[in-house]
Amino acid sequence: MKPARFEYHAPETLAQCLALLAEHGDESAVLAGGQSLLPLMRFRLAQPAHLISLRGLGGPLERIERRGGSLYIGARVTYTAVQRSAEVREGCPGLPRSIELIATPAVRTRGTVCGNLCQADPASELPAVALLLEARMHLHSAEGTRVVAAADFFQGPYMTARRGNELLVAVEFPVRPATERFAIREITRLRGGFPMSGVAVALTPGAGSALESVAVACFGVHSQQLRLHAVEQVLRQRGRTPAALQAAGEALDAAIHPHSDPFASEAYRRSATRTLLERVLAEACAQPSNPP
C-alpha cells in the first residue's frame, strides 16, 4: 500500500525543527531512520499529516559524546554508529551487544537508537536495556527542555512520555562500572526478528555466589518492557544459589503477564523467560568484567 498524503518538511536547524513540531504537534511525526515509521505509514497504521525529517540536522544530534560520567547519543545516531563507537564499547558495552540482536545490518545502518526508544516497541531490546542501565531522555521543545528517566519515559506498549511538540535530542547512558558484567539473550523465530521473550542483566559479582549489584529487565514477553525489581531483590539478598534462582523464577512469574499467539503460548513464554533468566545470570557471572 501507499502511505496516506502528508506534507514533508526538511528543517536545517534544531530551532526550525522545534518550530515545526510546535506548529503541527500531534499531527506530525519525526522521521529518523524510518525503519518503523515508514512501514507503519505504508500499512496506513500511521497517517501523520506532516513528516518532519531529521536528515538535515547536524551538530550534537549526529554525534556520540562522552561528558562527565555519561555517554550522549544524538537523535540521528544509527545503531551501526553505536556498534562502531570505541567510546560506547568501553563505557557502555551492553549497548552494542544488545544492538547485535536487532534486525539486520541493512536496518541497523538506518535505524537510530533514539527512534527505537521513541517507538517503544514492547518486544524491542533497547527500551528494556534503557530501563536496565537507567538511561535518561533529553527532550527539547520550543518551550524548553526536560530530562526524563527511562523508568518514567516508557508508559505502555508504543507509548512514551514524549509530548507531540518534543524531539528526543539525545539519550544519555551512564558510563558503567568496570566491574559490571552484562548479558542479554532472546528467543526469536527468525534471526534478527522481534523476540518472543528476552532477558537482559547487568551485575557485579561478589564473593562466592553473592551478587554486589544486579539489575534485570525483560522484553517481548509482557505488554511492555519491564525492570524486574522483585527478581533483583531476591538475587541481591540471596545470591545465585539454586534456592535463590528458584525464588527469583517465582518472582519473575508473578511479575509478567505473557500473551499467547500462534507462535508461542503463555506457558511457553513463561518457561522460556525463566530459562533465559538463569542463562543470562550464568553467562554474566562467567564473564571477565566488561569484555570488549
Residue at grid coordinates 531522555: 137
**Selected range binding ligand FAD among 113-121, 224-232, 259-267, 278-286, rule: CB under 6 A:** 113-121
Instruction: Based on the shown chain and the rule CB under 6 A, indicate whether residue 20 belongs to the binding site for ligand FAD.
Output: no
C-alpha cell at 65: 559524546
* Dist. CA 10–CA 259, nearest whole Å: 40
* Dist. CA 268–CA 196, nearest whole Å: 9
For residue 185, the minimal CB distance to ligand FAD (Å) is 14
Instruction: Based on the shown chain and the rule CB under 6 A, indicate whether residue 290 belongs to the binding site for ligand FAD.
Output: no
User: Residue 197 carries which side chain, given as an amino acid letter?
Assistant: S
Residue 70-89 contact track with ligand FAD, rule CB under 6 A, x = bound:
-----x--------------
Interface of this chain with ligand FAD, residues 166 to 205, rule: CB under 6 A: 167-168, 192-194
Instruction: Based on the shown chain and the rule CB under 6 A, indicate whether residue 228 belongs to the binding site for ligand FAD.
Output: no
In this structure, what is the dihedral angle of CA atoms 30, 122, 124, 165, given to the nearest 10 degrees?
A: 20
Contact at 8 Å (CB) between 135 and 116? no
Interface of this chain with ligand FAD, residues 28 to 47, rule: CB under 6 A: 29-37
Of 35 and 70, which CB lies nearer to ligand FAD in the complex structure? 35
Residue 236-255 contact track with ligand FAD, rule CB under 6 A, x = bound:
--------------------
Residues, the chain: 292
Backbone angles phi, psi at 141, to 5 degrees: -140, 175
Q: What is the DSSP string of 161-210?
A: S--TT-EEEEEEEEPPPTT-EEEEEEEESSTTSPEEEEEEEEEEE-STT-
Interface of this chain with ligand FAD, residues 129 to 168, rule: CB under 6 A: 162, 167-168
Q: Which of 11, 93, 94, 115 binds ligand FAD (CB under 6 A)?
A: 115
Q: Which of 102, 183, 256, 264 binds ligand FAD (CB under 6 A)?
A: 102
Give 53's contacts (C-beta < 8 A, 6+ positions apart).
8, 9, 10, 11, 31
Instruction: Based on the shown chain and the rule CB under 6 A, indicate whether residue 218 belongs to the binding site for ligand FAD.
Output: no
Q: Would you give the distance in Å from CA 147 to the centre of its chain?
A: 17
Of 41 and 248, which CB lies nearer to ligand FAD in the complex structure? 41
Binding residues (CB under 6 A) for ligand FAD: these are: 29-37, 75, 102-103, 107, 111-112, 114-116, 118-119, 121, 124-126, 162, 167-168, 192-194
